[in-house]
Structure 1
Amino acid sequence: MAHSASHLGTVNRLTAACRITRPITCLLAALSAACGGTLAGHPAATGWGRDALSMVSMAGVMGVANAVNDIADLPADRIGKPWRPMASGQLGVRTAWSVVLALALLTMTTAAALGPTQTLFAGALLLLDLAYSYRLKDTVLVGNLVVGVVCGGTLLFGASVTGGLTLRPCVAAGTVLLFVLGYEIVKTLQDSAADGEAGFRTLATVFRPEVSVGAYAAVAAALCLAVLAVGAPVSSAPSLFLVCAAPFLIAPVCLCAWILWTSPDRDASTARVLLILRLAWFPGLFSLALLK
């Protein structure tokens, strides 16, 4: 009986350790690197193994970002998200740091196998992860922008492996940055009560909710402009790109802006918007791959 309980406890800790990395966002980071590699060249030209290494490295970057953020956010999560692994006591801080170190080692090892440029690139993204959680999260918009830079950076990393930072992957990375920036603005709006109690300064805790809604609308407009005025002209198949980008990128972000602007129930509207954006993330990334 004691052995079974111990085994169950180990399984629970491993599950909790996995949960703080957010496996789905790690997968999206890996796919973002693959998208960048496809836009910059073709993985077959440099070897599929290198493309796989870039995907693993960027998944590690995102895992580190998520785990470190959970460690730094522990006081706020105890208030607003007590079900999370660390806030609920399922996982200790020491174990969480062990996960961070293991993922950082994985990231740097795979990046080093790709070359010195990729090693520096991956190291810079890891430093941004740490800077966000311990310095830049407690800012108005700067931290949100850094998260967008890291997510867009995963796409550029993949591009650097197969063909370099040409125009198409740069346009795609900029679009990812805008998408994630909008998502982060809405997320701080949802977390405003807990962040305020924990003492974080964000757009949503410093200003009225209408300011965050306006900021999201501005970012959504910039994303739509980037897709229509920049993305379509650089695509080799602009009609196909727009056919996919219209429902997968433009429509979701515009719908979210409308929901935030018109809904009187702020909690319900932010939850609905975050769900829509999460669902749009993968198909939106697929549409960006069509810039090729």
Structure 2
Amino acid sequence: MGVRHSLLRVEAAWWMSRTFLSNLATWAALIGWIAADPQLLGWPRMIALVVAVVALNGAMFVVNDILDADGDAVTAPYLPLPSGLLTLRQAWLAAGAGVLVAAVGLVLAARTTGRLLTGAVLLLAGIVLSAAYSKVKDYGIWGSLTVALPQSVPAAVAWVVAGGGPVGEALLVLTYLLLASVSNNVLAALRDVEKDPAAGNRTLAVRIGAPGAFRVAALAGFAALVPVAVLAVARPGWWGLGFAAAGAVIHLLCYPRLLRNFAEPGRDRVQRLADQRLWKLGEYVKHSSVVAVFHPVAGLVCGAVLYACLRGGYRVYRARLVSGAIRRSLANPVPVAGHD
């Protein structure tokens, strides 16, 4: 029973890190790397860096949950800390493990001491900016702009570690990621728009209403296509335009329905996540468009794999954490056949 319970708590820490939600950071690392290494000659080192970024992002998710534990008790009581699946000490240990994995991955990805040090400094800056977000996220759009910076840092790290490339292309990539990150953050806050006021959170959705916040998110998302188009024409990388057009069509098709849904009161977090499923697919197609400008096959493969990870991750996350399967397993002293 001791080993079983320990493994269940390790699983709770895993879900606390929301690895499957690290996809925006993963996209940033992939896009930044391929901007410097379009032929993917250093793909093993790219994978090492992606692992590092995902691990560090997971550690930041854990730290964010530690800092937001009181608010999460209202908006997300199923999370490991509010539900008692993990103690505060165990949560800090999970965050430390993530940082350790990130350090090892960065060392493996960087070929030179200079690249290693530059990458480490950039990641440290990202951590500081992430901590700043926890202080300003109640300031509406300014919070979203603040979090967009650390979410784009992995692209800069990847570009440097991979050896660099044309600066103009790198700036276009970063512009895309900043706009996409703002859109993603505003959408993420919409999930808890009903409960955030009770927790004292003053997100953009709380300030201007869910429909207005969704319009801002959509505007930022569509604006992100501009640097993609410029990059595709300048390089040229015409396949990127095809991917970008497909993503834009998906968003245009689901925009009216989502706007109506966000205007409807009483929709809970699970419903709002389900509402955004098609929109999220459009986001991933747009992310793929940036990769496709440099390498069409990589754009297709990355989009398919990361979207599958997202959808599968959400499904298991809901079953194991949101629905309380881990909590029920911990409450049972002996596993019962046919159950968890």
In the superposition, the TM-score normalised over structure 1's length comes to 0.84
- How big is each residue's C-alpha offset from its partner over 1:49-93, in whole Å with a ceiling of 9 and x where there is no partner? 532332222112311222122222322222222222222211122
Q: How many angstroms apart in 2 are the aligned matches of 1:232 and 1:74? A: 44
Which amino acid counterpart does residue 285 of structure 1 have in structure 2?
A: H
Distance in 2 (CA, whole Å) between partners of 1:187 and 1:51 is: 28
Amino acid at match of 1:120: V
Q: 1:152 and 1:210, CA in 2 relative to 1: closer, same or farther beyond 3 A?
A: same
> Which residue of structure 1 aligns with residue 224 of structure 2?
223
- Distance across 1 between alignment mates of 2:214 and 2:43: 43
Taking only the aligned residue pairs, the percentage that are identical comes to: 24
Distance between the aligned counterparts of 1:255 and 1:145, measured in 2? Answer: 27
For structure 1, list consecutive stretches of 5 or more residues without a partner in the other structure: none
In structure 2, give the amino acid aligned to 1:184: N
Partner of 2:21: 25
2:200 corresponds to 1:205: no
| Structure 1 residues 255 and 69: CA distance shift in structure 2, 3 A | farther
How far apart, in 2, do the equivalents of 1:252 and 1:8 lie?
44
Instruction: Between 34-43 and 76-85, report the one with greater CA deviation.
Output: 34-43
Distance 2:65 2:17 in 1: 9
Which residue of structure 1 lines up, in the alignment, with residue 278 of structure 2? Answer: 276
- 1:136-285 matches, within 5 Å, as 136-164=136-164, 166-228=167-229, 230-238=230-238, 240-247=239-246, 249-263=247-261, 264-265=263-264, 267=267, 270-285=272-287
- DSSP-derived class of the 1:193 partner: coil
Deviations 1:133-184 (A, max 9, x none): 3x12232122222332222222222111123263333323322322232122
**Shift in alpha-carbon separation, 1:18–1:289, aligned structure 2, 3 A:** same
Look up the match of 2:32: 36
Does structure 2 conserve the Cα–Cα contact (< 8 Å) formed by 1:22 and 1:66? yes
> Are the aligned partners of 1:108 and 1:122 in contact in 2 as well (CA < 8 Å)?
no
Is the 1:104–1:126 Cα contact (8 Å) retained in structure 2? no
The change in CA–CA distance for 1:254 and 1:179 in structure 2 (over 3 A counts) is farther
Of the candidates 59, 64, 68, which is equivalent to residue 63 of structure 2? Answer: 68
Q: Contact 1:80–1:191 (CA<8 Å) still a contact in 2? A: yes
Q: Is the 8 A contact 2:51 2:105 kept in 1?
A: yes
Q: Secondary structure at the residue paired with 1:90?
A: coil
What do you get for the CA RMSD once the two structures are aligned?
A: 2.6
Shift of 1:10: 0.7
Q: Aligned to 1:111, which of 85, 99, 106? A: 106
Measure how far apart 1:121 and its partner are.
0.8
Distance (Å, rounded) in 2 between the aligned partners of 1:28 and 1:187: 12
Contact 1:57–1:108 (CA under 8 A) maintained in structure 2: yes
Q: Distance in 2 between matches of 1:167 and 1:110?
A: 28
- The gaps in structure 2 that reach 5 residues or longer are 111-115, 295-340
When the two structures are aligned, how many residues end up with a matched partner?
283
SS in 1 for 2:276: helix
Aligned equivalent of 1:79? 74
CA distance, structure 1, for counterparts of residue 40 and residue 223 of structure 2:
34
CA distance in 2, matches of 1:214, 1:35: 26
Cα separation, 1, equivalents of 2:126 and 2:188: 21
Larger deviation: 76-85 or 35-44?
35-44
Structure 2 residue matching 1:131: 3-state secondary structure: helix
Distance 1:30 1:43, change over 3 A: farther
SS in 1 for 2:80: coil
Once residues 124 and 84 of structure 1 are traced to their aligned partners in structure 2, the CA distance between those partners, rounded to angstroms, is 27
| 8 Å CA contact retained: 2:71, 2:199 | yes
- SS of residue in 2 equivalent to 1:290: helix
